[in-house]
Copies of this chain bind each other. A is one copy, B any other.
Amino acid sequence: MNQDSTERIVTALSDWIAHAAPGARLPSNRALMARHGASPVTVQKAMRRLAALGLIESRPGVGTFTRAGRTARAADYGWQTAALGTPPARMPVLSSTQRTVAPDAIALHSGYPAPELLPERLVRQALGRAARRNTAVLRSPAAGSPDLQAWFAGELASAAPVGVTPASARDSLIIAGSQSGLSSIFRAVVGVGQPLLIESPTYWGAILAAAQAGVELVPVPAGPEGPDPEAVARAFAESGARGFYAQPSFANPTGAVWPEATRSAVLELVRRNGAFLIEDDWAHDLAIDAAPRPIAAEDEDGHVIYLRSLTKSVSPALRVAAVIARGPARDRILADRAAESMYVSGLLQAAVLDVVTQPAWRTHLRGLREQLRARRDLLLDALREHAPTATVETVPRGGLNLWVRLPDGSDAEQVVRECAARGVVLAPGSEWFPAEPSGAFVRLNYSGEGPERFPEAAGVLGDVLSGS
């Protein structure tokens, strides 16, 4: 199709321009027609797109040139220092998990699975259908599309024991990814200067959202079996906190799954303390050796605020998640979301719902489980063979990551830097600790990089650790 040849030329020339000097002359239209086997109309269309993108400018009678940057004078924004004052909290813009790396590096640092682990065909088809429906041009309600609300509520209800009244569709609020949910929950339910219990180590994004909301974190140590309920009880008593943020299933980064006794003890503790458990079920669709079992399904007094995202299992581009909460907490979270962003694109909501209600979605999840298991085991094997001094305390029963303890006395940041210099990108464990790290750790994602590169990566880590 003509449209596609235009796009092809636009893409090729954008690449060329990216590497050309500002003011460089573009090949003539005639040369472009020859090179791309395209008609004059197609080439002209491509040039108009590039001009609209601000990449080129044509000087009639002379030729077409990459756009020369205007000569910028050095700006001094020093006056802003007085207007802005000291920042309320040290907030890094980027976690090391979000770093862009050289294309030939072995990337084990990111928090996302590789595109080949996503239901790519379902996503593209669903988007195509959503583009043809009214969802392409309409607003969504603030709480989300009622169908998608019902789906999230139904997923949780399907895990509810007999006799427990499950949360309703109305209790399920659609948000643009779980980070938005964390921010709203911390602002609306915890509040500035208020204490919040949090596992240590835990998801860095939750630590970041808490810093932004001005929440005071109270770390509770969490090992391969999650937190010790006695420690949770003490932390509630000492801090007077009204909330506990936790990942009871396949915790990020440790992979821990809370045993039954911990689940019921913590649920009892939040009830007794008139508090909320903020349950982040981030890896619900990323289970490997254990079924996901949301604690929220066992709560009927509104003590559990539940977060589930589809960003990592459907597609990072379909940024959709839900908060399920009941009572006044639900109303406050919704009011905060509405003030923060009004509503979530109904198109993304329609596409996500389409994907997860196709029969092929269940098939995909079964296949994903096998692939995650194989990748996890390959990385474990590679570490055992090539980096024997690095240890993995918990073999994760779900999720995307290995939490690797380095030998005593290691400097994790230094190890990460040396691995990076040899082309292997890891994430330093310190980012997952709300206070000082309890040891030297690195986090390795086994779902983002091709498993054929795991031995090489483990070899580099082993060499760095042995100082060779």
Contact = CB atoms under 8 A, between A and B. Distances in A.
A157 B214 CA distance: 37
Nearest to A213: B339
Interface in A340-354: 340-348, 353
B80 A317 contact: no
A70 to B, nearest CB: 7
A447 B184 CA distance: 33
A207 to B, nearest CB: 10
Contacts of A328: 77, 80-81, 84
B123 A136 contact: yes
Interface string A259-270: 000000000000
Given A77-B301, A142-B93, A212 B339 contact: yes
A151 to B, nearest CB: 6
Contacts of A61: none
Interface string A149-168: 01100100100000001101
A52 to B, nearest CB: 4
B139 A301 contact: no
Contact of A136 (B120, B140, B358): B120
Contacts of A342: 98, 177, 179, 205
A450 interface: no
Interface stretch (A127-135, A229-237, A278-286, A402-410): A127-135
A38 to B, nearest CB: 17
A326 interface: yes
B84 A329 contact: yes
Contact of A79 (B179, B274, B356): B274
A83 B275 contact: yes
Interface in A71-124: 72-73, 75-77, 79-85, 87-88, 91-94, 98, 100, 112, 115, 118, 120, 123-124
Contact of A345 (B92, B302, B348): B348
A180 interface: yes
A120 B347 CA distance: 13
A22 B341 CA distance: 35
B94 A317 contact: no
B136 A317 contact: yes
- Residue from A127, A140, A141, A179 whose CB has the most chain B CB atoms within 10 Å: A127
A123 B138 CA distance: 12
A150 B53 contact: yes
A347 B320 CA distance: 13
A308 interface: no
A151 B120 contact: no
Contacts of A336: 91, 212
A316 interface: yes
A220 B269 CA distance: 50
A318 B332 contact: no
Nearest to A168: B72
B317 A179 contact: no
19 contacts: A52-B356, A53-B353, A73-B165, A75-B301, A77-B327, A79-B301, A79-B302, A83-B275, A93-B331, A94-B142, A98-B142, A115-B137, A118-B137, A124-B132, A137-B317, A179-B341, A180-B341, A183-B340, A208-B339
